Amino acid sequence: MTDNARPLALVTGASSGIGANLARELARDGHDLVLAARRVEPMRILAEELKAAGARCTIVAADLSKSGAAAALVRELETQGLSVDVLINNAGLGINGRFDTSDPLRVAEILQVNVVALTELTRLLLPSMVKRRKGKVMLVASTAAFQPGPQMAVYCASKTYVLSFGEAIAYELRGVSVTTLCPGATDTEFADVAEAGSSALFKGLLPVMDAKEVARIGYQGLKAGRGVVITGLLNKVMATSSRLSPTPVSIRIANWMMSAGK
């Protein structure tokens, strides 16, 4: 706990989309915040808004695609005397297209942000929560975690890692909950960043959910200490079908969803 007795939540990827909305949920429910991402200006604006809800906000500019960024972020928190009660590993990105023609630097960036930084940050911040037998961790995965995804191979594999990692450490831990949030298509900057805006998935094949609603559902799951939270009924049905279908079937559907309409 922080000295003012409001629990402190660290949200990565707080400069937009689901992360910014999770920060709003946390502030409304009595948390102070550490907001981390590369773009500082949107986090400044968000911090002003959250102050009105009584939340003290600390902004940390962090590029989690850089090796050692998670450790640097944790050092910064220690320097400022901040102890994290709730860790929201939300920062993430994808890229649409065939793997053999993808930009190798972008591939490395996706792995570093979605997998390495998420794992390192969790490893570095968990022990003090475990010691206190108190704390909550959220890992933002995706419904992309439930099957291989041609046209988004690295992204889907990275989210399969997040889901597997989250479920495993949730099983290991007592006193600290780990919630893996699996949104389906959500209206944020994600599709533009991933150049996936014209794929069937983001062209209304399934309803594209509002980031506010995704964050609300995710936060309720985190609060209740649930292990895996899939947002929306249709996404639950799709994820469950993917888990139960033979891979040759689910992979064809995933390929169609990511490439149709391009």
Ligand X SMILES: NC(=O)c1ccc[n+]([C@@H]2O[C@H](COP(=O)([O-])OP(=O)(O)OC[C@H]3O[C@@H](n4cnc5c(N)ncnc54)[C@H](OP(=O)(O)O)[C@@H]3O)[C@@H](O)[C@H]2O)c1
**Residue 93 contacts ligand X per CB under 6 A:** yes
How far apart are alpha carbons 137 and 140 in whole angstroms?
10
Q: H or E segment at 34?
A: strand 32-37
Tell me 195's DSSP state: T
Q: In this chain, which of 65, 151, 160, 259 binds ligand X, going by CB under 6 A?
A: 65
**Distance (Å, rounded) from C-alpha 143 to C-alpha 60?**
29
DSSP 231: -
* Residue 170: CB minimum distance to ligand X, A: 18
Contact pick of 87, 97, 122, 142 for ligand X (by CB under 6 A): 142
Looking at the Cβ atoms of 169 and 209, the one nearer to ligand X is: 209
Q: Which residue, 65 or 177, has its beta carbon nearer to ligand X?
A: 65
Q: How far is CA 96 from CA 22, 39, 60, 118, in A?
A: 25, 23, 29, 21
Q: Per CB under 6 A, which region of 90-98, 128-136, 221-229, 236-244 contacts ligand X? A: 90-98
The answer to whether 218 contacts ligand X (rule: CB under 6 A) is no
Minimum Å gap between C-beta 13 and ligand X is 3
> How far, in whole angstroms, is CA 141 from its chain's centroid?
6
CA distance 244 to 254: 14
C-alpha to C-alpha distance for 12 and 125, rounded to whole angstroms:
13
Residue 149 binds ligand X (CB under 6 A):
no
Asked if 98 contacts 262 with a C-beta cutoff of 8 angstroms, the reply is no
DSSP string, 110-149: HIIIIIIIHHHHHHHHHHHHHHHT-EEEEEE--GGGGS--
48 binds ligand X (CB under 6 A): no
* Least spacing, CB of residue 38 vs ligand X, in Å: 3
Q: CB of residue 43 vs ligand X: minimum separation in angstroms?
A: 8
The pair of structure tokens assigned to 261 is 């309409």
User: Does 46 engage in binding with ligand X (CB under 6 A)?
Assistant: no
Residues in contact with ligand X, shown as a per-residue x/- string from 183 to 202 under the rule CB under 6 A: x-xx-xxx--x---------
According to CB under 6 A, which residues from 151 to 190 bind ligand X? 183, 185-186, 188-190
- The reply to whether 171 belongs to the active site is no
- Least gap, CB of 131 to ligand X (angstroms): 27
Residue 38 is a binding residue for ligand X (CB under 6 A)? yes
Residues assigned a catalytic role: 155
Positions touching ligand X (CB under 6 A) are 12-19, 37-39, 62-65, 90-93, 113, 140, 142, 183, 185-186, 188-190, 193
